[in-house]
């Protein structure tokens, strides 16, 4: 069993409900899923992004926001269909494109990817996290 961190739980807003405890991939840089995320493998393929080469499938991805346009939603939707999406995506503020993809995936594929919004202070406290737990209400806990 993993020891609990002394960091208090962070109140998040569940834009799309989803719960997971998983390895965390945390970056202070936005990510364009169009050309930056391989929907067939889950690999972050933007070679200029700090998480380049990491595989986000089944993990908790922490980003300030997505970058780009509605194509982000299309790429994430396909990643969800292929079972290569993150389990939960935590953003700073509301990311409409990621939220849209997760809502459509629930309707079309009956698959859930949690989308949680946290404030800037909460986001900053996740820097360097290795494992995170998110409950279905949006409460975020840094485990390690």
Percentage, residues of the chain above pLDDT 90: 92
Q: Is 104 contained in some domain?
A: yes
117 part of a folded domain: yes
For residue 135, tell me if it sits in a domain.
yes
Q: Which residues pair with 118 in a beta bridge?
A: 92
**Total count of domains within the chain:** 1
Catalytic (active site) residue 69: yes
d(CA 75, CA 33): 6
Catalytic residue among 5, 6, 32, 69: 69
Structure tokens at 26: 């945390």
- State yes or no: pLDDT of 3 exceeds 90: no
Maximum C-alpha span of the chain: 40
Please report the DSSP string for 8-58 in residue order: PPBP-EEEE---EEEEEEE-SS-B-STTTB-TTT-BB--TTSTTTT-B-TT
> Residue 1 falls within a domain, yes or no?
no
Name the pTM for this structure: 0.94
pLDDT at 50: 98
**Confidence class of residue 33 from pLDDT cuts 50, 70 and 90?**
very high
**Residue 127 binned pLDDT confidence (cut-offs 50, 70, 90):** very high
8 is a domain residue:
no
Q: Is residue 6 part of a domain?
A: no
Indicate which CATH number applies to the domain containing 126: 3.50.30.10
Domain that holds residue 74: 13-142
pLDDT tens per residue across span 108-125? 999 999 999 999 999 999
Note whether residue 3 is domain-resident: no
- Strands of the sheet containing 60-62, edge to edge, are 13-16, 114-118, 88-92, 60-62, 20-26, 131-134, 140-142
Decide if 84 is inside a domain. Answer: yes
């Amino acid at each position: 069993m993993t020891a609990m961190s002394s960091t208090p739980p962070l109140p998040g807003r569940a834009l799309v409900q989803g719960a997971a405890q998983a390895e965390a991939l945390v970056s202070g840089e936005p990510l364009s899923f169009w050309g930056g995320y391989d929907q067939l493998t889950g690999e972050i393929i933007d070679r200029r992004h700090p998480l380049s080469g990491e595989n986000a499938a089944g993990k908790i991805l922490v980003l300030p926001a997505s970058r780009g346009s509605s194509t982000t939603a299309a790429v994430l939707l396909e990643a969800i269909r292929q079972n290569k999406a993150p389990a939960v995506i935590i953003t700073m503020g509301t990311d409409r494109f990621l939220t849209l993809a997760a809502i459509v995936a629930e309707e079309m594929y009956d698959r859930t990817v949690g989308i949680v919004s946290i404030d800037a202070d909460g986001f900053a406290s996740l820097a360097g996290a290795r494992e995170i737990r998110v409950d279905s209400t949006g409460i975020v806990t840094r485990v390690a």
